[in-house]
Each structure stands twice: as structure tokens, then as C-alpha cells.
A and B are shown apart, each in its own frame.
Chain A
Amino acid sequence: MSLYFLDGVSDIEEPVTLAWNVLNYVDSGSTLELQWNVYNNVEELLELRWAVLEVLFDTSVELQWNVYNFAEDVELQLLWNIFEYEDPEYHFKTDKRIKSFM
């Protein structure tokens, strides 16, 4: 089967189209519908794009796909304090004294 772009494709400006997965392939009589998802890496949210293709025997087909983009990052900052003895040696000496006394 051969496919030809008729319109809606030449103006696609996505700089990076990494891959697509064919999710569905439905041949319903004279109408062939292909759908797939396109993942990209651009920061701006792109609109949903579509194109009309022509297959052999002049059968029109409308292609649709979803354009995904990154959702806003979500951050969680964890905080805690770290303590230390002002004089670790003094601390250990104190411990020894306590133990001796006991």
C-alpha cells in the first residue's frame, strides 16, 4: 500500500519527532483510518495535528494522532537539620565519666 500526503503535513514544525506507535489500524470498508501517538521533546504545547492521506486506488484516509508534551514539573523539596557535637571529644569524655561514675 502506498500513502501520499495531500495536506496538513507539510506545515508540521515539530523539530523532534522521535517515534510513533501505531495504536490502531482499522480498515472499515472503503475508509481506512490510522491513528498513532507522536511523542516529542519540545517545550511548547503543540496543537493536535492531523493530515489527509491518499492511498492507492484513490481511497482517502484521514490520519490522526496525539501530540504529547511535558506537563509542568512537580517539585517536592525535603528539608532536615544535621546536628553535631560542639566538641565531640568532650562528649566522649563526658560519656566515659558517666560510665565510670555508674
Chain B
Amino acid sequence: MSIIAGDIKFYLTGGADNADVNASLGGITSSIEITTAALNNLFDNINADEAIAGDTEYRAIAVKNTSVTDTLYNAKLFCEDGYAEGSATTYAEFALDSGTQTIADESTAPSNPSLTFSTHVGEANGLLLGDIAAGAVVRVWIKRICTADTAAYSEDKQTIKVRGQTI
């Protein structure tokens, strides 16, 4: 057997049954899967005050290999576009967390341990998740940055990809 796309799923964090995307701030992995391409499926809207002043928010998600038999080898997380996707003045950075730390609020950077965020644009610059065994979960933090004086934008977006090898 091989890993198929449906085996790799993205989940909220913030408690076993947490369905509030604004509370996906680390801790226990939720059983609630993130629905791709749905408005506010992880981040809330950027209001006018935030767009003027600039805004940085954090979310923690879990990437799970739901296969019961197969490992996803050498998995990487990356995005194809940084600024180029959606608004030209918002982008996301990513960091892998070895634990399940929680942050106090969405504006507080994870600090236990402190993480290094990077844009990870393109597979070659992908965030290495390593081998994800059957049933295993890896914790990824996403930092959404909105630079100051950002113009209004409907359905701004960031697409994340996970690519790995299967046997």
C-alpha cells in the first residue's frame, strides 16, 4: 500500500473537541479537521484597524498521517507563493514544534521552546517535517503577517502543501 492524499489531514489544536479556529493556539490536538478553502478556516478577518497598523497572529495546527499502515517519508510543508497569493502585503511563516505548547493569545509568539519562523516558499525551501509514521501527528505553527497600511482584500489566502514520499 501507499500513502494517498486522503491519509494526510490537518486538524485544529486547542483541545480535544475544539472547533473554534481562534482558539487553535496549541495544546491538545483537536478532532476537528480544518476545511480547506473555506473563509476563516483558521484565521479570522483582518479588521481595518489591524490593516492600518499591521497585524501578526499565530495558530497551531496538527498534520496527521491517518494511514494505519504506511509512513509518509521525508515530509515537507511549504507554500508555492508567499506574497504573490492573495493580498500583496500579507504572508505566512511556518515553524515546526517538537512539543504541544500553548500560547496565551493569538498575538503572542510561541516561546516554550522559542521557534524560528520562515516563509518556506517552494519545496526546496520546505519545512522538513521528517517521517510521519502511521497515526502520528506533527505540530506546525503558522504566523500570519499583515504589513501596515494593507488595502482591503476579499478572501485573502495562503495555500499550504505537504509533500512526502511513499513506498
Contacts and interface: CB of A to CB of B under 8 A. Distances in A.
B125 interface: no
Contact of B161 (A45, A75, A82, A84): A75
Given A79-B41, A80-B46, A81-B46, A88 B167 contact: no
B73 interface: yes
A84 B52 contact: yes
Binding site secondary structure of chain B: strand
Contacts of A39: 74, 165
Binding site secondary structure of chain A: strand
A91 B48 CA distance: 10
A46 to B, nearest CB: 11
B129 to A, nearest CB: 12
A87 to B, nearest CB: 11
A83 B45 contact: yes
A79 B51 contact: no
Given A73-B163, A84-B151, A91-B48, A79 B40 contact: yes
Interface in B149-167: 150-167
Contact of B46 (A67, A73, A83): A83
B49 to A, nearest CB: 9
Given A66-B167, A71-B4, A73-B5, A81 B151 contact: no
A75 to B, nearest CB: 5
A59 B48 CA distance: 76
A45 B3 CA distance: 12
Interface residues of B, number: 51
A78 B165 contact: no
Given A69-B165, A74-B5, A83 B160 contact: no
Contacts of B2: 45, 71
A82 B52 contact: no
Given A71-B5, A75-B36, A77-B157, A83 B48 contact: yes
Nearest to A48: B167
17 contacts: A66-B167, A68-B73, A68-B165, A71-B2, A72-B4, A74-B10, A75-B36, A75-B160, A76-B160, A78-B41, A79-B155, A80-B156, A81-B45, A82-B152, A82-B153, A83-B47, A88-B52
Interface of B: 2-5, 7-10, 34, 36-48, 51-52, 72-74, 87, 90, 92, 142, 144, 146, 150-167
Which 4 A-B residue pairings sit nearest by Cβ, starting from the closest? A72-B5, A84-B152, A71-B166, A71-B3
